[in-house]
Chain A
Amino acid sequence: MIDNIWLVPLLPLLGFLINGIFGRKLGKNLVSWIGCGSVGLSFLISVKVFFELLSLPAEQRIFEKIVFPWIYSGFFKVNISFLLDPLSGVMLLVVTGVGFLIHVYSVGYMYEDNGFSRFFSFLNLFIFSMLMLVLANNFLLLYLGWEAVGLCSYLLIGFWYEKKSASDAAKKAFIVNRIGDFGFALGVMLIFWTFGGLNYTEVFQQAPSILVAGGGLVTAITLLLFMGAVGKSAQIPLYVWLPDAMEGPTPVSALIHAATMVTAGVYMMARCHILYELAPFTLGLVAVIGAVTAIYTASIAMVQNDIKRVLAYSTISQLGYMFLGCGVGAFAAGIFHLMTHAFFKALLFLGAGSVMHALSGELNMQKMGGLKGKIPVTFWTVFAAVLAISGIPLFSGFFSKDEILWKAFSQGNLLLWLIGVICAGMTAFYMFRLLFLTFFGKSRVDESIKSHIHESPKIMTVPLMILAILSVLGGYVGIPKSLGGGNNFEHFLSSVFGEKEMIIHHSAFTEYIVMIISIGVALAGIFFAYRFYISKPELPKSLAEKYNFPYRVLLNKYYVDEFYFKIIVNPLLKFATFLWQFIDIRIIDGTANGLAGMVNWFGGIGRKIQTGYVRNYALGMVLGVILVLAYFILK
């Protein structure tokens, strides 16, 4: 089966073609069978392939398959060929597995939509592109997949194109991504220029001998590639498209903007880890950008009321963690977190979709509440995901997040570690805030829809349950040694990243302490969330009212709470609002718009030259002649 790896991307492509061309005539049942079936089959093949890979001895777990020669001409040889190693194997499982569950969920979620067949053909096209990205064995094919997933994301964000906000968001996503892609394309060009080839094996084998570690060239290459990753994985300063991308259907947010496409940047850096390890400056930048993004967007997530936007900012923040992991050289930990995040964040989005489904499309968390008993399956699955993302011990997010934090700590990056820990507390806070606002407390649902709140159909809840199981158990493949596990995940990936015997600066005891600190911070976050949204639900509101009168606030009888709130939470909330309102909207959006405006302005000036008078055209030409001749004379 491992020889037939090409079947994995081919099946979704076929699904796309069939649904895209004949979709309207096939009827919804057949469309959903083809859409889900093709991805399901390629998931089964991936599992089979994965186990075949596992059965090989560790050092032989690299398999290349040339499907057909793509460009063979003179100076230039590129194949359509696939590379299967532990890294792409893991990605393969995540993409097809989570993708399949989301496909199934979409059958229920999108059933009433007119564009049902269009939706499934786009989803299949996306899976195909993502698989090309993951399986590529050269940079050109990677770039192809890279652009193609961007295109699919554009098509799917703008799926409800009648909505102006949706088509605007789609355009924004596409254009911001192109800024990153520009760097990525240049990086690929530079690689070609340096190595004379684009195959991974070719490039990575030559890299240590051709490039000087820490030299300008490798730094330039990695920075350019990183620019692509920043765009695709929505990091500062190119993250602005992701929150807007929530205009797309919820399964799209789950699949593309949480589980798979946005993690392409992390995958790409892990794939190129040999280059990145040669460029310490870039690695440092990656870590800093990751950490800053993580805390910055986590703070924004704390004040959002739109359930999908909370999740969007949370996704950016979690991606920041993965970048932090890569930046401190813990690529395996980054990929580990990528995997667990795919499980629980997809689950959260799908759960949010299920909530919206129950509440006729309501997004505002202030208009939810008390849903716990009414949609129990959704509640319990989302609860599992919230526990996982908050880093509660025994849930998957705990292991992966802690792995990253521990790596950051053990390498002496105390500041980055501290940011990561604070961010973990904030994550716990906003996730439990989401949970409490949505499912607990008094119902604030509009009367008109209150009567027909209902649990989603089986076709939607079963994927939720499977993802919940994965969110709980997914972490057990990588239990660290200090907790008695074998860290199998890192070990498995070691044939890609190399077995790095990290010098143990710290004893297991330190590791426990570090672990306990992060657990403590997470619990503190949960405590605050509980305090504000369950035990004293009127608190945030009254504080928000009194926030204008700081003296009276000090005299308030909830002195302790007020104190915490005033000193820690409120400035943070205020700062977060400021960041969101000012930096996010004014500066970053403004800069992007300003750049576009400037380009446009030049065009506006330029076109005035084209006056419409033949004599002026001739004058332009004569000027050209004079310049050309003058060049030859003066030369």
Chain B
Amino acid sequence: MVPVSYYILLSGVLFSIGVLGFLIRRNVIVVFMSVELMLNAANLAIIAFARNIGSLTGQVIVFLVMTVAAAEVGVGLAIIMMFYRNKKSVNVDDGNLMKW
């Protein structure tokens, strides 16, 4: 059996990729996908822990997190659409009206 630490390491790497993606990419959709990657990294960690502890709670938590992620996708894409309609752009850096 693969030890739990491998899973955690993998999830940590995925999470970091997500964070870096958020910082580096400019396309709003890709930025948003990076956030999803972060959430899924967390899911992976929870599943691995749940298996390690031997309880079902973790798996239920993952379902809840997935639901939340789905809701976020629903709302998020709508917001991005709205932004695109008014700005004709999906570049995050174009949202720069308000500062200081």
Contact = CB atoms under 8 A, between A and B. Distances in A.
B6 interface: no
Contact of B100 (A608, A618, A619, A622): A608
Contact of B96 (A607, A613, A618, A622): A613
Interface in B26-42: 26, 31
Interface string A387-403: 00000000000000000
A607 B100 contact: yes
Contact of B23 (A607, A610, A612, A619): A619
A614 interface: yes
A607 B19 CA distance: 25
B23 A618 contact: yes
Contacts of A613: 92-93, 96
A557 interface: no
Interface string A573-614: 000000000000000000000000000000000011011111
B71 interface: no
Given A615-B23, A618-B22, A619-B23, A610 B99 contact: yes
Interface in B60-99: 92-93, 95-99
Given A612-B97, A612-B98, A622 B92 contact: no
A614 B95 contact: yes
B92 A611 contact: no
Contacts of A614: 31, 92, 95
Contacts of B31: 614
Nearest to B24: A615
A614 B80 CA distance: 14
Contact of B99 (A612, A618, A619, A622): A612
B99 A611 contact: yes
A612 B96 contact: yes
B93 A615 contact: yes
Interface in B1-55: 19, 22-24, 26, 31
A357 to B, nearest CB: 51
B23 A622 contact: yes
A70 to B, nearest CB: 42
Contacts, number: 29
A560 to B, nearest CB: 68
Contacts of B100: 607-608, 610, 612
Nearest to A622: B19
A624 to B, nearest CB: 12
A613 B96 CA distance: 6
Interface in A153-176: none
Of the listed residues A608, A610, A618, A619, the one surrounded by the most CB atoms of chain B closer than 10 A to its CB is A618
Contact of B92 (A610, A615, A619): A615
Contacts of A619: 23
A628 to B, nearest CB: 14
Contacts of B95: 612, 614
- Report which residue of A611, A615, A619 has the largest number of chain B beta carbons within 10 angstroms of its beta carbon: A615
Nearest to B26: A615
A242 to B, nearest CB: 37
A615 B31 CA distance: 9
A543 B99 CA distance: 61
B2 to A, nearest CB: 26
A619 B20 CA distance: 10
A548 to B, nearest CB: 53
Contacts of A608: 100
A613 B31 CA distance: 13
Contacts of B22: 615, 618
Contacts of A607: 100
A619 B24 CA distance: 10
B34 to A, nearest CB: 10
Contacts of B92: 613-615
A611 B98 CA distance: 8
A614 B99 CA distance: 10
A602 to B, nearest CB: 14
Nearest to B98: A612
A614 B30 CA distance: 14
Contacts of A612: 95-100
Contacts of B97: 612
Nearest to B96: A612
Contacts of B24: 615
A610 B99 CA distance: 6
Nearest to B19: A622
A622 B97 CA distance: 23
A618 B23 CA distance: 7
Nearest to A614: B92
Q: Among B26, B96, B100, find the residue whose CB has the most chain A CB atoms closer than 10 A.
A: B100
A128 B88 CA distance: 62
A450 B92 CA distance: 74
A107 B2 CA distance: 92
A98 to B, nearest CB: 50
B29 to A, nearest CB: 14
Contacts of A615: 22-24, 26, 92-93
Interface of B: 19, 22-24, 26, 31, 92-93, 95-100
27 contacts: A607-B100, A608-B100, A610-B100, A611-B96, A611-B99, A612-B95, A612-B96, A612-B97, A612-B98, A612-B99, A612-B100, A613-B93, A613-B96, A614-B31, A614-B92, A614-B95, A615-B22, A615-B23, A615-B24, A615-B26, A615-B92, A615-B93, A618-B22, A618-B23, A619-B23, A622-B19, A622-B23
Given A612-B95, A612-B98, A613-B96, 20 more contacts: A607-B100, A608-B100, A610-B99, A611-B96, A611-B99, A612-B96, A612-B97, A612-B99, A613-B92, A613-B93, A614-B92, A614-B95, A615-B24, A615-B26, A615-B92, A615-B93, A618-B22, A618-B23, A619-B23, A622-B19
